[in-house]
Amino acid sequence: MRLLVLVTGEYGWRHVDNIRRHGPPGWRVATWETPKALPPVLDYPEDYLPEALPPTDLILSLAEVKGVAEMIPEIAQMTGAQAVIAPIDNVAWLPVGLARQLGEWLARIGVACVTPKPFCSLTATHTDALRRRTPYQAHPLIAEFAAHFGQPAFRAEVDERTRQIVALDVVRDACCGCARYVAERLRGTPVDEAIEASGLHHHHYPCQASMGIDPQYGDTLMHVSGNIMKDAVRDALGPYLQTHYVRPAGYVESDDPT
């Protein structure tokens, strides 16, 4: 797969580095560094684009400037791209309304698009934040990307005697690399402490999801991202977790079925 990543700053370069280090060997990853400032309205988006960009299958937009979204249809036509992933980790970079317009513009030229909010909610067929599954138009290129990067997924190995994590293998990493970071630090952690510990490790990683309250979720996108990570760890450790029951004060168990 030929991947073109649109990058503005450190946020994007961290993702690019992780893709190049841990993506499939057959992927070819090219980048274009976007302008760091754009006018409020782009009458002629092509005026801000380079003369040429490499042939591309999938565009990944990690731009930190709102106007870049208006360039993406032109970039898709220049490069021959068939699909676009444009995450919303900060609505200042990609407002929800503009993301919706982007999908409409790309649909008119036959290009698939998904705008996961946040990025680590992406799977091959839907986005899943706070266990709210939202399907999108599936595309083989997006599915190929999402098999490796998107919503974190782990496979756990636990010492049943000590109930400590022996290994947490990364089945799918967050594109920024946070899942690998969390997995490394959970090694040796008691199973019953691992979910909360994963949230703390996520908090210590330089996640770029916004800390402003998002009206869709009623929480910050950073906290939503942290909960996605905790859910992934919980899913991996499910067979090993102990269920705790709370008995109300004064409760008396009765054999009487009525």
Write out the chain's pLDDT in tens, 258 residues: 999 999 998 889 999 999 999 999 999 999 999 998 887 777 777 788 898 999 999 999 999 998 899 999 999 999 999 999 999 999 999 999 999 999 999 999 999 999 999 999 999 999 988 778 888 888 999 999 999 999 999 999 999 899 999 999 999 999 999 999 999 999 999 999 999 999 999 999 988 899 999 988 899 999 999 999 999 999 999 988 875 545 565 555 555 544
pLDDT of residue 257: 47
In CATH terms, is domain 2-115 a member of 3.40.50.720? Answer: yes
- pTM, full prediction: 0.89
Residues facing residue 154 across a β-bridge: 170
- DSSP letters spanning 62-124: E-SSTTHHHHHHHHHHHHT--EEE---S-TTTS-HHHHHHHHHHHHHTT-EEE--SSGGGB-S
Distance CA 8, CA 207 (A): 16
Q: What is the DSSP letter of 173?
A: B
pLDDT of residue 189: 97
C-beta separation of 64 from 9 below 8 A: yes
Distance CA 156, CA 183 (A): 9
For the chain, the domains span 2-115, 153-240
* Strand pairing category for 213-214 and 83-85: unpaired
Distance CA 122, CA 16 (A): 17
Q: How far is CA 83 from CA 32, 123, 159, 226, in A?
A: 17, 15, 43, 27
Distance CA 188, CA 164 (A): 5
Distance CA 158, CA 1 (A): 36
Distance CA 137, CA 95 (A): 20
The number of angstroms, rounded, from the C-alpha of 34 to the middle of its chain's C-alpha atoms is 21
Residue with tokens 């799977």: 123
Distance CA 245, CA 243 (A): 7
C-beta separation of 2 from 55 below 8 A: yes
